[in-house]
Amino acid sequence: MGGFRKFLCRARWIAASLVLAACGTPAQVPAPIAADGSGVTVFVNGSVLTMNEDMPRAEAVAVKDGVIVAVGARAQTEALFDDAATVRDLDGRTLMPGLIDAHGHFAIGSSTAVMADLQPSPAGDVDTLAALRAKLEAWHEANPASPWILGFGYDDSLLAENRHPTREDLDAISPDIPILLIHVSAHLLTCNSACLEAAGISAQTADPVGGIIRRKAGTQVPDGVLEERAMQLALAKLPAPTHETAMAAMAANQSIYLRNGITTAQEGAGNPAQLAGLQAFGASGNLKIDLVGYQIMQTRDALSEDFAPSKTYTDHYRLGGIKLVLDGSPQGKTAWLTEPYHVIPSGNPDDYAGYGTMEAAEVDGLFSAAFGRDIQVLAHANGDAAADQLLAGVERAGVLHGNADRRTVMIHAQTARDDQLDKMRASGVIPSFYVAHTFFWGDWHRDSVLGPERASRISPLRTSLDKDMVLTIHNDSPVVPPDMMRLVWTAVNRKTRSGDVLGPDERISPMEALRAVTIDAAYQYFEEDSKGSLEIGKRADMVILSADPTVVDAMAIADIAVLETIKDGAVIYTHADSP
């Protein structure tokens, strides 16, 4: 694996090869093709980042019928084709593989896109409870027929008041219309009194397994905030959207992904109805990117006999496997740690360290069932205690079914310890790190959630690469927007909102970060042979960027614009400044 990680400049002969250029701009052999350039597009005059370890940079890429047919030095590549070929002048811009969403929630993001946007800056502008109330009132005025007032993205850690909105706060907006607001982490929500009543939640309602109904101090009266599995009591009562509304929401959400250069996306915790909706969106002909769905498995769920993942897309959609959620959110202080939180949430004992959301026997049973059928498992584990539970499940299932190439993914892996990384490497578990946290909640993790020492190791990218591990990084959209350049920026700089560098020793290079959203993300999906790098025979999934992330100042990476998104050789998004 060491060669996989190092970008070596190697000159070698391959049959019918192009003449190799100097070490900085090598060339790759074209597949046998006719000299006729009809239908061929050759991209030239820009920076080409191939993500191919044997040839990290090139001068030209040729595409025909949605497939890459040549990569290499410009003169030799253009010489392969006659004048019928179309030459695309990049005008100094950067061409690289399409960006791959290693973990996110396309269906959930589509649902929340039609709610009031309550996210704080820079994703939104709700930084006070007064601003939150104004947004909800404006949304209600714009959606008078909606039987519920719905919002997504509020963040108690970034509100000026540093608290969740309570039922009383929301009752002041409307005591009669149910109001439900989903926390930015999607691991908590808050309700007004009408929402709690609709959900059947009262002082007599017991906490569900794996969830908590928060109560007013010294009483059993719900204060409106629901954690983890308790959220389902209210979410289950939301009115279902019409088919037309759902299709329109997915189209609108897809446009956000296109603007960010994403050519393969994920629904990382869909229920059967949501996954069926994605399949229908694909069948409608409106799904332009590839989309992989993972079905969430919860308490008492079992793998049905007809559950059949596939590595083949139909209408750009495929079912990839299953998803387990083993704990909650560190910024919401529901992630399951082995050591207590730095600042204990009000009303909890001094040793409070979060909690798991599934029993060990359930986790082991689902891992065993999945491994027995070679089904890929994604498992959410923010806290290191949850990571212990995941790794124990992998180990026990491996004993029963052998350690085949299943590419289990630990989603988030934010507090993974060194010993856990070693176990992950040994068992083939891929960490998909939520490194965007270093910016969005880095100060909160340092000062309140984990304390300075543990927070400095959150999302240990450098440590993992030094252990020769394959890793990916993600935004977990819609928790944060699917802004891939900002994601790469966080991995390279680890700057917090306040300007602190959170764990400088865990920073990685721009090229390493780009691999985590291209070729290594393709590997996570078992698609490294067809995606993730610009190589002959691979699909022409590409993006054109306004600048080269490996050349600009590291702090400027977040400002790089996606100018074009290209899927299977077809342009599916164009920025106004595209060449």
Which amino acid would we find at residue 271?
N
Out of 235, 269, 291, pick the residue that ends a domain: 235
pLDDT of residue 298: 84
pTM: 0.90
Same domain membership, residue 285 and residue 256: yes
pLDDT digits (tens, 9 = 90+) for 268-281: 999 999 999 999 99
Same domain membership, residue 288 and residue 200: no
pLDDT of residue 309: 97
Q: How large a percentage of the chain has pLDDT more than 90?
A: 88
pLDDT of residue 15: 23
Tokens at 267, concatenated:
């629904």
pLDDT of residue 35: 59
Rounded to whole angstroms, the Cα distance separating 520 from 473 reads: 10
- Is the confidence at residue 373, as pLDDT, over 80? yes
User: Is 123 within the bounds of a domain?
Assistant: yes
Rounded to whole angstroms, the Cα distance separating 150 from 183 reads: 11
Same domain membership, residue 501 and residue 424: yes
> What are the start-end ranges of the H helices in 225-310?
231-235, 243-259, 272-283
- In this prediction, residue 578 has a pLDDT band, given cuts at 50, 70 and 90, of confident
Rounded to whole angstroms, the Cα distance separating 476 from 163 reads: 23
| CATH number of the domain encompassing residue 207 | 3.10.310.70
Domain range for 175 = 115-235
Mean pLDDT for the stretch of residues 500-521: 98
Same domain membership, residue 274 and residue 230: no
Q: What is the dihedral of CA 150, 152, 157, 160, to 10 degrees?
A: -60
| CATH number of the domain encompassing residue 338 | 3.20.20.140
- Is the confidence at residue 24, as pLDDT, over 70? no
Rounded to whole angstroms, the Cα distance separating 326 from 297 reads: 10
Tally the C-alpha atoms within 13 A of residue 90's C-alpha that lie toward its C-beta.
Answer: 28
Tokens at 124, concatenated:
């939104």
Same domain membership, residue 308 and residue 275: yes
Q: Is the dihedral of CA 106, 109, 111, 113 positive or negative?
A: negative
Rounded to whole angstroms, the Cα distance separating 159 from 327 reads: 24
User: What stretch of H or E contains 567?
Assistant: strand 562-567
Same domain membership, residue 342 and residue 195: no
| Cα-based angle 248, 251, 253 (whole degrees, multiple of 5) | 110
User: Is 31 within the bounds of a domain?
Assistant: no
pLDDT digits (tens, 9 = 90+) for 413-464: 999 999 999 999 999 999 999 999 999 999 999 999 999 999 999 999 999 9
Q: For the chain, what is the domain count?
A: 2
Out of 200, 235, 270, pick the residue that ends a domain: 235
Same domain membership, residue 334 and residue 476: yes
Taking phi over 0 as left and psi of -120 to 50 as alpha, with beta for the rest, 217 belongs to beta
Tell the burial category of 579 from Cβ atoms under 10 Å away from its Cβ (0-12, 13-18, 19+). Answer: middle
Q: How large a percentage of the chain has pLDDT more than 70?
A: 94
Q: How many Å is the Cα radius of gyration of the chain?
A: 24
Q: Which one, of 24, 21, 31, 33, lies nearest residue 73 by Cα?
A: 21
Out of 188, 208, 235, pick the residue that ends a domain: 235
- In this prediction, residue 76 has a pLDDT band, given cuts at 50, 70 and 90, of very high
Q: How far is CA 171 from the centre of its chain?
A: 34
- Is the confidence at residue 343, as pLDDT, over 90? yes
**DSSP secondary structure string for all residues of 367-394:** HHHHHHTT-EEEEEE-SHHHHHHHHHHH
Same domain membership, residue 349 and residue 325: yes
Tokens at 33, concatenated:
């093709």
Number of Cβ within 10 Å of residue 427's Cβ equals 15
User: Is 453 within the bounds of a domain?
Assistant: yes
Strand order in the sheet with 222-228: 116-117, 149-154, 179-183, 188-191, 222-228, 211-215
545 pairs with which residues across the strands?
94, 562
Cα distances (angstroms) measured from residue 243 to each of 113, 213, 250, 334: 16, 32, 11, 34
User: Is 568 within the bounds of a domain?
Assistant: no
User: Is 559 within the bounds of a domain?
Assistant: no
Rounded to whole angstroms, the Cα distance separating 237 from 165 reads: 20
pLDDT digits (tens, 9 = 90+) for 141-174: 999 999 999 999 999 999 999 999 999 999 999 9
Number of Cβ within 10 Å of residue 309's Cβ equals 18
- Is the confidence at residue 317, as pLDDT, over 90? yes
- In this prediction, residue 512 has a pLDDT band, given cuts at 50, 70 and 90, of very high
More confident residue, 566 or 301: 566
User: What stretch of H or E contains 444?
Assistant: helix 442-444
Contact 374, 405 (CB under 8 A): no
Rounded to whole angstroms, the Cα distance separating 190 from 111 reads: 17
User: What stretch of H or E contains 453?
Assistant: helix 451-455
Rounded to whole angstroms, the Cα distance separating 144 from 130 reads: 21
Same domain membership, residue 254 and residue 225: no
Contact 70, 80 (CB under 8 A): yes
Same domain membership, residue 366 and residue 274: yes
Rounded to whole angstroms, the Cα distance separating 116 from 104 reads: 20
User: Is 99 within the bounds of a domain?
Assistant: no
Which amino acid would we find at residue 350?
D
Helix (H, G, I), strand (E, B) or coil at 262: strand
User: Is 109 within the bounds of a domain?
Assistant: no
- Is the confidence at residue 19, as pLDDT, over 50? no
User: Is 514 within the bounds of a domain?
Assistant: yes
The whole-chain average pLDDT of the chain stands at 92
Same domain membership, residue 137 and residue 268: no
Taking phi over 0 as left and psi of -120 to 50 as alpha, with beta for the rest, 90 belongs to alpha
Q: Which one, of 186, 445, 213, lies nearest residue 337 by Cα?
A: 445
Mean pLDDT for the stretch of residues 542-556: 98
Rounded to whole angstroms, the Cα distance separating 155 from 234 reads: 19
Residue with structure tokens 């109904």? 213
Same domain membership, residue 254 and residue 174: no
Q: Angle at which helices 418-427 and 384-401 pack, to 10 degrees?
A: 20
More confident residue, 18 or 569: 569
Q: Strand 409-412 to strand 290-297: parallel, antiparallel, or no bridges (unpaired)? A: unpaired
Tell the burial category of 442 from Cβ atoms under 10 Å away from its Cβ (0-12, 13-18, 19+). Answer: buried
Residue with structure tokens 């609709």? 198
| Cα-based angle 292, 296, 302 (whole degrees, multiple of 5) | 120
